[in-house]
Structure 1
Amino acid sequence: MGWGIPEKGWRKGPWTPEEDRLLIEYVSLHGEGRWSSVSRCPGLNRSGKSCRLRWVNYLRPGLKRGQITPQEEGIIIELHALCSTIARYLPGRTDNEIKNYWRTHSKKKEKSSQKQEKRSRSSDPQTGRGTPATPAAAAAARSW
């Protein structure tokens, strides 16, 4: 038995509604924090780690679903390097959700600004034509 090697054939992949129900029932009876013993729950063939992650990120009461609000976005932008700290300021949002939000939205904004910058550099405002990338190309373009 080593790290990363399941003791028995744990089920992987998407969770079923029945598995969610069993996990919710287990946590309501035994509480959070007893994840190693959850594998003994009949009908729930998942590892303790998998159960903990499912509970914390999807099933825990009070989690918010849906889009991040503008107010939440402001806090995320201000404190983006501290995802777990941000989660304390945004009840119902997990540190993992905040990290994922930051990565996807900052990449989209970065790509958008790069495209904008590329467009503004590649277009001559007087002619509307693209500007050559090198001085030699500029000379060749003028000779036409």
Structure 2
Amino acid sequence: MDSHFGWGGVVDGWRKGPWTSQEDKLLCDYVNIHGEGRWNCVSNITGLRRSGKSCRLRWVNYLRPDLKRGKITPQEENIILELHARWGNRWSTIARSLPGRTDNEIKNYWRTHFKKAKSSSSKINLQRSKLPKSLIQQDQNHERR
């Protein structure tokens, strides 16, 4: 298998592709004993053939015991909207206000639920900007009523 260069194989000594349940258990055992951090040491200590970055991301995004599972609640959605308006795409900053949610999860939620709506409103504003000013003012006056 070491010479296999496809998905799920080993390339240059590092395993690529989906994680197995045995690898997850090794990583969880490592974190329970040594704590989070020093991710580049994980492969030497546990025998995992994964990079430190891969181990860190697996732990942070999938294996941490305090992660919330399931749909984002309407309250969480409101917080995401409010904080995105304040801070923009600072996903890790936003995630600190939503315990148990990861920055990656929040970013993906934003991009699947709000990015399209934002871009369509931008298109409307762009179309408006091409109109004569007198028509734009009439439209704005109509919206205020």
Do these two structures clear the TM 0.5 threshold for a shared fold by scoring above it?
yes
Specify the alignment match of 2:70 in structure 1.
Answer: 66
Specify the alignment match of 2:104 in structure 1.
Answer: 96
Specify the alignment match of 2:37 in structure 1.
Answer: 33
CA distance in 1, matches of 2:82, 2:107: 13
TM-score by length of 1: 0.68
Q: Give 1:103's aligned amino acid.
A: R
How many residues in Structure 1 have an aligned counterpart in Structure 2? 110
Q: Give 1:79's aligned amino acid.
A: L
TM-score by length of 2: 0.67
Kindly indicate whether residue 16 of structure 2 is the aligned counterpart of residue 12 of structure 1. yes
CA distance in 1, matches of 2:65, 2:117: 32
CA distance in 2, matches of 1:36, 1:21: 17
CA contact (8 A) 1:19 1:43 kept: no
The answer for unaligned runs of 5 or more in structure 1 is 1-6, 118-144
Give matches, 1:99-114, under 5 Å: 99-109=107-117
**Identical aligned residues as a percent:** 73
CA contact (8 A) 1:83 1:95 kept: yes
Q: Which has the larger radius of gyration?
A: 1
